[in-house]
Amino acid sequence: MAKGKKEAIESKNGTAATPGDGAGQQVAEPPEVARASAYEVAQRQLDEVAGFMGLEDDVLGYLRACQRELIVHFPVRMDDDRVEIFTGFRVHHNTAKGPTKGGIRYHPDVTLDECRALAMWMTWKCALMGLPYGGAKGGVIVDPKRLSIRELERMTRRYATEISLFVGPERDIPAPDVGTNAQVMAWMMDTYSMHRGYSIPAVITGKPVSIGGTAGRESATGLGVAYVTRAVLKQRLGRGLEDVTVAVQGFGNVGSWTARSMHDRGACVAAVSDVYGGVYNSHGLDMRQLLRHVAETGSVVNFPGADSLTNAELLELPVGVLVPAALEGQITRENAHRVRAKIVAEGANGPTTPEADAILADNGVFVIPDILCNGGGVVVSYFEWVQSLQSYFWDEGAVRRQMENTLIASLEAVNGAMTQCKCRMRMAAYMIAIERIIAAINVRGFYP
């Protein structure tokens, strides 16, 4: 019943893991990237949009801050009887549009600042997707690969207990992120339910189908990246997925499902990478064999018939589409001018710094921003929440169709704003999200 240690790990970006909601293997970060600066990056992005929109200082000040931040330190009995103290976080950025929504990350480098940034990005993403949510994010400072399956369960249950004052089906609904997966969500849902004495499936999304999860959640983020990229390719370059080569950084949930989904729709997936390194074959990698290789060896490295390359080299390949599906801060001012892709499709949250954004734009590289590109995950999380609340379940075809409709409608709204404002796609996406949040703030007013 309980899955193995590897299976208990999901990552959007990539800690070694079988597909969960994050991408799989974590990738090495460029040396100049300070992870603690993700919040500064998120705030700078907001400041830029606020300047462009002429936002009032009051509103900007309100949106720059996170509404609630919880830090927890908690003991866990390890298998050798030692007690280890873990530190975790849960941040609610903004609740103007409804309960907060966002993943839980297990990673050794998780910080409060990173959770703040990721929570803020969730607020924008949910608003852009038209979901009745604000943004949240949580995490525990831990390398989940280091724990046994029982240690992972005990740690998860204690963390779920510690943050339970922040969480609830009408309050804050966690989901998988880097380093967590459906099994971790099942433990969280069970723990929350045990405290209340009855099952409350709507408190968590990304949980297994057997306890009220939705069909199509595991593949949703990567499949959504493929849908959005396909539409942008057609609109911007008059091409189809079958006309392009693709490189994917990160091979966890998001990276692996993006690679599979694009491959299944005719793309030539020429390179993929994980925390251990990357593989490249200009004629394309055989996805089925690659997935088998990863299942057997735990990494894409040494895949037969492919050359090896580093994560840094992958970002600079001459491909049509580059998908950073690992951690934030991967495309920076140091390497942006060497990116040769025509389109960067952000599978990860925050993979491109503001300086890199400007360099890419100058070089004619079109960036599909994270809050649009990887929105399929939270869209299907919303469908799961609705199904859990109603105890009425949809088939996978309906989930996929509705997800594609939501993503394409959001893309069209962003296209309209881009044309109107003659701005970059990230700016247009942020403007729509922020306008929707401000509309909610205005009618609600500031209490008291």
Does 381 bind ligand GLU (CB under 6 A)? Our answer is: yes
* 55 vs 120 by CB, closer to ligand GLU: 120
Does 219 bind ligand GLU (CB under 6 A)? Our answer is: no
Instruction: Report, in Å, the least distance between residue 173 CB and ligand GLU.
Output: 7
CA-CA-CA-CA torsion sign (127, 130, 132, 135) = negative
- Catalytic residue chosen out of the listed positions 137, 145, 207, 342: 137
Instruction: Report, in Å, the least distance between residue 433 CB and ligand GLU.
Output: 14
Please confirm, yes or no, whether 137 is among the known catalytic residues.
yes
Q: Which of 103, 139, 222, 329 binds ligand GLU (CB under 6 A)?
A: 103
Does 94 bind ligand GLU (CB under 6 A)? Our answer is: no
Does 102 bind ligand GLU (CB under 6 A)? Our answer is: yes
Does 12 bind ligand GLU (CB under 6 A)? Our answer is: yes
Does 177 bind ligand GLU (CB under 6 A)? Our answer is: yes
Does 378 bind ligand GLU (CB under 6 A)? Our answer is: yes
Q: Which of 138, 201, 222, 377 binds ligand GLU (CB under 6 A)?
A: 377
Instruction: Report, in Å, the least distance between residue 57 CB and ligand GLU.
Output: 29
Only one of the segments 139-147, 323-331, 377-385, 430-438 lies at the binding site for ligand GLU (rule: CB under 6 A); that segment is 377-385
Position closest to ligand GLU via CB: 103
Does 350 bind ligand GLU (CB under 6 A)? Our answer is: no
* 23 vs 319 by CB, closer to ligand GLU: 23
Positions that interact with ligand GLU (CB under 6 A) = 12, 21, 101-103, 175, 177, 205, 349, 374, 377-378, 381
What are the catalytic residues?
Answer: 137
